[in-house]
Structure 1
Amino acid sequence: MTDVLWRPDPARLREAALTRFAAAAGRAGATYDELWRWSVDDLEGFWALAAEFLGIRWHAEPSAVLGSRAMPGAQWFPDGRLSFAEHVLTGRDPDAVAVRFRSEAAGDGAWTWADLRRETARVRRGLVAHGVGAGDRVAAYLPNVPQVLAAFLATASLGAVWSAAAPEFGMDAVVSRFAQISPTVLLAVDGYRYKGRAVDRTQEGEEIARRTGARPVRFGLLDGTGWEAGFGEGPGELEFAALPFDHPLWVLYSSGTTGPPKAIVHGHGGVLLELLKTAVLQLDLRAEDRFAWYTTTGWVMWNIQLAPLLAGASVVLFDGQPGGDALWDLAADTGVTVFGASAAWLDAQRRDGARPCEGRDLSALRAIGSTGSPLPAECFDWVYTEFPADTWLVSISGGTDVVTPFLGLAPTVPVYRGELGPPALGVDLQAWSPDGRPLTGEVGEMVVASPMPSMPLGLWGDADGERLRAGYFERFPGVWAHGDWLELTAHGTGIITGRSDATINRGGVRIGTGEIYQALAAVPEVVDAVAVDVPRPGTHGAIVLFVVLDGLPLDEALTARIRAAIRRGCSPRHVPDDVLAVADLPRTSSGKKLEVPVKRLLMGADPDSVVNRGSLANPGAIDAVLAAARTLTLSP
């Protein structure tokens, strides 16, 4: 029987925005599942009410809610005009704090809403002086500091298109992103600090500008000069261009681990509506909330942290080394109410024996969030051991592709051990069999069967839409297939068991790699693992398991225990043929394991063709994997 670890507080539930929304929909007292079913059965009715309830400000009223339901190519709120930046900056108490921050380079500080608005106007004036207008691209090579929020809002206010990369990315990885969109300007930091050491990025910024054809604008973080060198001093006027619902807002990028990263284009209105829904209805954020999610500017969670600002809540930014107790200290010092990080970071805290509440006041914290990869069940146990029982653990799954959660956030639904929350409102999320039948209680392909407002407008440079269709709509024509294995439970939650393109199939029995990792929880010496299914001549293939160990050698006895744990937890068919120890495993900057690229490497592919090292959190781990794999005999 699945353990219930948390139930919503009845008092907060009565006051929740979701409760008021249900009443406005004429569905007072409905269960979350009933509300969700209405939201996907009547997309037009749901999103029309959501736009009204969430306070969308129209400069021109739309002629319909959904002009076309085609996927790809759904047409949302045709003829409607609005401004994303206006929704963030309008109607705020100018003296209330909007942003708190801690930076190794800039120290601690806070900005009021008046500060954020003033800095946005200043950057906007500078962008206009550099010739930036609607449709032009503004590329940012900047760390997670408040000036970046202002730069994005200034860009959005003009109708220009934002695109960002973290300065810790390698230069080639940044160029492979920005060169696709031909930016007008590049906002480039002079450097940043990490573990107390200054990391100069002046030459990298100049070279990125040269290779992308952008005009460089310097942001002096290390020397404290800010925008003065690029934009000069003095205030600016803040205006908001009234833009079509589907006007491009930003370009985000796939992880870039296999070939050039996809340049994903999202629209002003779709992102605005989805982020407001997430913040207000799904997360129940209020003006008094303080939201912190550990991220860099190169991960989609930087973009999603705009959701609290849209809801009038404040955000807490961190720029520096997140190890040890640094983030818990930040949460305590700033009174964070909602804290989030990658599942990999949270699980590392568990494995390191972290005691977040010991010696610090985290009483304001009401929710802990996790995303980037499935959160192990043992991490659920750790959270509810270390934090009060009324802490809401929010394990979500979404993606750069849609800038919003597919599932995981529902303030009215209990938390079950090892499971994500239910599908988000308006997201027609299903698990399908190979022949397209919806499944419950069984693992299937994770699909979205109806359009979402924040689905990509397209991929930059993909004029005929071929790459977009190939990426998401080939598996089931006209239906979004995300590439994950999903089980929807009888009680309405979800379990993601791994990438469907990393599935291991033996004798017709398919399992996701997540099930292997879950079984390995019984072997405490295994700190991390990646399992891949690699072809071998004349056989059905070999399961190769790479493991990172807790300071112990991989001897025969430990190998036997690893295999036995997988035999018990999965099946005899899925016991690995080879177990190899490595010092580290390659991950993206958001903590995702590189299962498919590792598989391709083991099949003999050129590393430079399948792995963009500059986009990885630990580029040297690729060499560790290749060195260990040289002992294997694999197909070319």
Structure 2
Amino acid sequence: MSLNRENNILWEATESFNNGSEMARFIDWLKSEKQLIFNDYESLWQWSVDSNDQFWLSLWEFYEVIYEGVIEQVVTTDSMPGANWFTGTILNYAEHIFRNAADTRPALIYSDEAGEIHEMSWRELKSKVATLQHFLLKEGVQEGDRVAAFLCNTPEATIAMLATVSIGAVWSMCSPDFGTHSVLDRFNQIEPTVLIATTGYSYNGRNYNKSEAVTEIAQQLPSLKHLLLTGQDNTIAPQSFSIPVSVWEEVVNTEHDCVLHFKRVPFSSPLWVLYSSGTTGIPKAITQSHGGILLEHFKFLGLHGNVQPGDRYFWYSTTGWVMWNILQSSMLLGATAVLYEGSVSYPSMSKLWDLAESVQLTTFGVSASYIHSCMKKGISPKETHDLSSLKCIGSTGSVLSLSGAQWIYEHVKKDVWLASVSGGTDICSGFVAGNPMLPVYANALQCKALGCGLYAYDENGIPVMNEQGEMVITKPMPSMPIYFWGEKDGKRYHESYFDTYPGVWRHGDNIIIYENGSVEITGRSDATLNRMGVRIGTSEIYQSVEKNPEIKDSLVVNIELENGGFYMPLFVVLNDKSALTEDLKTKIKKALRSEYSPRHVPDEIIEVKEIPYTLSGKKMEIPVKRILKGDAIDKVSSRDAMKNPDSLIVFQQLHNKDHQ
């Protein structure tokens, strides 16, 4: 079924918003500089995929990339994996951040649960980055060496990242809420020479001392040559180590007369290492390049995010989520990056809306689950906050329901642009993106991203429209991983993306691409509910179930039985003072039947205290399914890769009860 334009539009750009967008500026530039004329977005997208070398070269020129050398080839091949980009050039990601330095606007704005707002000028940021750069060079850190960080979402993390990549070293970070073994599983793969770590953090009104964890991590990294500590909870004794230990306040927060410089490196040199969730094994050490991230973030944040000089860009994230990296790149476009460290709901769910008003955010990025939580709490920010500066609300992390989108327009701002995006750590960007020139439709994301050959494949590998299919990408993109760090033969890289369709990237999502160009994400393909031959996206069930005020969260799996039958239980977490009555069960089932189909109706509805999540905020449907089929908890998950590892115990108990 195709979406009806008249009945499903939630927002349309005004003429001035459209014409003033970065996307419109790029289209005008293509016309004047390249004599390329595009009358609609779909034709622009098709060109960007069919002529991807011309598209990425045009983006390079449009954003005036600083480089040395001669572009030998924009891309060496259209096949995947194995494409090399902009061969013959050298550049530096951090250099492009600092070319936007200006006395008229801060580089960073930072806040936390205490509520105080701190600004850091470009002058101060440059000075601190130069000082830390000098320290790293003095300690022998060279191009290609790894610097690991165990830091919160504070200016220290931004300073450390920029100092690292400015000299061509490779950045990698874990959030302090990660378990010790989870951190070691990641950092031991990359063999860092320097560890920059905080000894404590605050969350939800509580202080956490991480000195013991930092000590254990540092002692179990054989490659480590220096430890740099920050934080006020330091109980670490330097004599505990055979390597030098320094203190951030003495190294960086003192007056130095250092000059910041940039080491230009080949386009495909590693910039940073990100990690997959690692719920069932060693996390993938996803390595992305200087040039690939630079170009992709110019496109994703500039053209699709409409980030412009002077904007104040915020996306709520921990340092363990890819959105932290994307947030830093807002400075590539001349925006001020707004950082927040702490809980979204302490001391109240209005905390982030307070921040939006206080610092006059232009982009307010959060997870879909946060929007749903605000909706269920019954808050109405437009009644309590001045959000006149807000141009865009971004949403990602999970599928935003129709009721969540409607809540934004009814209770936040009626003329705000809702830019829901979907992508992943794998490319540090979005495959499906916002577009300041296109309408926002109900239950759909606005468009396929430029330069992304995105299609929905049926079970025979044939592209389909207006029906659910496997999300694939048919052309290489510059920010795709250059490799998984430490992998010699590329076997795991190939297995992760190219095993199903040779030469075609399979991401693991189910999608519907509509005739109007919008895209619906229906859930993870490996968690698809294949019931009696009909494939059901889990997001459809969650949207229906979680709009009930009694339901706080939910998870559904479908188990194939030996007799050829199916068992589909729905697990729900109830809000305070709610009970799972027969009336509520009937209401849930009736809604699923009427809104979707009889196959969407679960066989059983079971109350649990919490839904299991990965550290990156993904529901753990597959591990739950495997536990219910008899696998042990430690076989299907790693405790240190989960937000709430004890949440799996109830599913083990349910399996044991059924098999007594």
TM more than 0.5? yes
Residue 228 of structure 1 aligns to a residue whose secondary structure is helix
Q: Is residue 2:12 matched to residue 1:10?
A: no
Structure 1 CA distance for aligned equivalents of residues 316 and 249 of structure 2:
28
Residue 87 of structure 2 aligns to a residue whose secondary structure is coil
- In the alignment, is the contact (CA less than 8 A) between 2:633 and 2:652 conserved in 1? no
- In the alignment, is the contact (CA less than 8 A) between 2:103 and 2:122 conserved in 1? yes
Structure 2 CA distance for aligned equivalents of residues 561 and 279 of structure 1:
42
Q: Is residue 2:229 matched to residue 1:219?
A: yes
Select the residue among 578, 581, 603 that pairs with 2:604: 578
Structure 2 CA distance for aligned equivalents of residues 440 and 633 of structure 1:
44
Structure 2 CA distance for aligned equivalents of residues 220 and 246 of structure 1:
32
Partner of 1:373: 398
Partner of 1:544: 569
Q: Is residue 2:575 matched to residue 1:565?
A: no
Alignment of 1:231-630 (within 5 A): 233=254, 234-323=256-345, 324-521=349-546, 523-550=548-575, 551-630=577-656
1:287-319 CA-to-partner distances (Å, cap 9, x unmatched) read 121011100110000001122100011111001
- In the alignment, is the contact (CA less than 8 A) between 1:138 and 1:161 conserved in 2? yes
Structure 1 CA distance for aligned equivalents of residues 213 and 458 of structure 2:
48
Q: How big is the shift at 1:633? A: 4.7
1:113-162 CA-to-partner distances (Å, cap 9, x unmatched) read 11111111111112122221111111100000012111101110111111
- In the alignment, is the contact (CA less than 8 A) between 2:105 and 2:310 conserved in 1? no
Letter in 1 for 2:231: L
- In the alignment, is the contact (CA less than 8 A) between 1:519 and 1:570 conserved in 2? no
Structure 2 CA distance for aligned equivalents of residues 294 and 610 of structure 1:
29
Q: How big is the shift at 1:567? A: 2.5
Structure 2 CA distance for aligned equivalents of residues 364 and 317 of structure 1:
18
Letter in 2 for 1:281: L
Distance 1:211 1:105, change over 3 A: farther
Q: Is residue 2:142 matched to residue 1:133?
A: yes
385-394 or 333-342: which moved more?
A: 385-394
Q: How big is the shift at 1:594? A: 1.0
Partner of 1:122: 131
Residue 70 of structure 2 aligns to a residue whose secondary structure is coil
Distance 1:628 1:376, change over 3 A: farther
1:75-99 CA-to-partner distances (Å, cap 9, x unmatched) read 1111111000100012421452110
Structure 1 CA distance for aligned equivalents of residues 131 and 259 of structure 2:
7
Distance 1:343 1:590, change over 3 A: farther
1:144-199 CA-to-partner distances (Å, cap 9, x unmatched) read 00121111011101111111010011111111111111111111101112233321
Alignment of 1:79-94 (within 5 A): 79-94=88-103
Structure 1 CA distance for aligned equivalents of residues 480 and 615 of structure 2:
23
Q: Is residue 2:249 matched to residue 1:228?
A: yes
108-117 or 599-608: which moved more?
A: 599-608
Q: How big is the shift at 1:352? A: 1.1
Structure 2 CA distance for aligned equivalents of residues 589 and 498 of structure 1:
18
Q: How big is the shift at 1:621? A: 2.1
Q: How big is the shift at 1:445? A: 0.4
Letter in 1 for 2:105: A
1:569-616 CA-to-partner distances (Å, cap 9, x unmatched) read 332234222321111101223432111121122222221232222232
Q: How big is the shift at 1:108? A: 2.8
65-74 or 476-485: which moved more?
A: 65-74
1:407-446 CA-to-partner distances (Å, cap 9, x unmatched) read 1211111001121110111111111111121111011000
- In the alignment, is the contact (CA less than 8 A) between 1:580 and 1:628 conserved in 2? no
Distance 1:91 1:518, change over 3 A: closer
Structure 2 CA distance for aligned equivalents of residues 354 and 39 of structure 1:
42
Structure 2 CA distance for aligned equivalents of residues 204 and 564 of structure 1:
49
Provide the identity percentage. 41
Q: How big is the shift at 1:69? A: 1.9
- In the alignment, is the contact (CA less than 8 A) between 2:195 and 2:218 conserved in 1? yes
Letter in 1 for 2:601: V
Structure 1 CA distance for aligned equivalents of residues 600 and 385 of structure 2:
44
Distance 1:103 1:236, change over 3 A: farther
Distance 1:131 1:108, change over 3 A: same
Select the residue among 162, 169, 172 that pairs with 1:163: 172
Question: Unaligned stretches of 5+ in structure 2?
Answer: 235-245
Partner of 1:98: 107
Structure 2 CA distance for aligned equivalents of residues 14 and 414 of structure 1:
14
Q: How big is the shift at 1:630? A: 4.2
Q: How big is the shift at 1:533? A: 1.4
Q: Is residue 2:84 matched to residue 1:75?
A: yes
Q: How big is the shift at 1:393? A: 0.7
Structure 1 CA distance for aligned equivalents of residues 538 and 176 of structure 2:
32
Q: How big is the shift at 1:229? A: 5.0
Letter in 1 for 2:462: R
Letter in 1 for 2:92: S
Count of equivalent residues: 634
Letter in 1 for 2:230: G
Q: How big is the shift at 1:4? A: 0.3
- In the alignment, is the contact (CA less than 8 A) between 2:408 and 2:414 conserved in 1? no
Structure 2 CA distance for aligned equivalents of residues 70 and 616 of structure 1:
35
Structure 2 CA distance for aligned equivalents of residues 241 and 85 of structure 1:
9
Letter in 1 for 2:406: D
Structure 2 CA distance for aligned equivalents of residues 514 and 131 of structure 1:
50
Letter in 1 for 2:612: P
Letter in 2 for 1:89: F
Residue 33 of structure 1 aligns to a residue whose secondary structure is helix
Letter in 1 for 2:482: L
Distance 1:46 1:200, change over 3 A: same
Residue 291 of structure 1 aligns to a residue whose secondary structure is strand
Structure 1 CA distance for aligned equivalents of residues 358 and 458 of structure 2:
48
1:451-507 CA-to-partner distances (Å, cap 9, x unmatched) read 111011111122111101111011111000100001001111000100110111122
Structure 1 CA distance for aligned equivalents of residues 548 and 122 of structure 2:
50
Partner of 2:238: none
- In the alignment, is the contact (CA less than 8 A) between 1:340 and 1:370 conserved in 2? yes
Letter in 1 for 2:280: T
Distance 1:560 1:95, change over 3 A: closer
Structure 2 CA distance for aligned equivalents of residues 627 and 229 of structure 1:
52
252-261 or 601-610: which moved more?
A: 601-610
- In the alignment, is the contact (CA less than 8 A) between 1:106 and 1:221 conserved in 2? no
Structure 1 CA distance for aligned equivalents of residues 518 and 258 of structure 2:
48
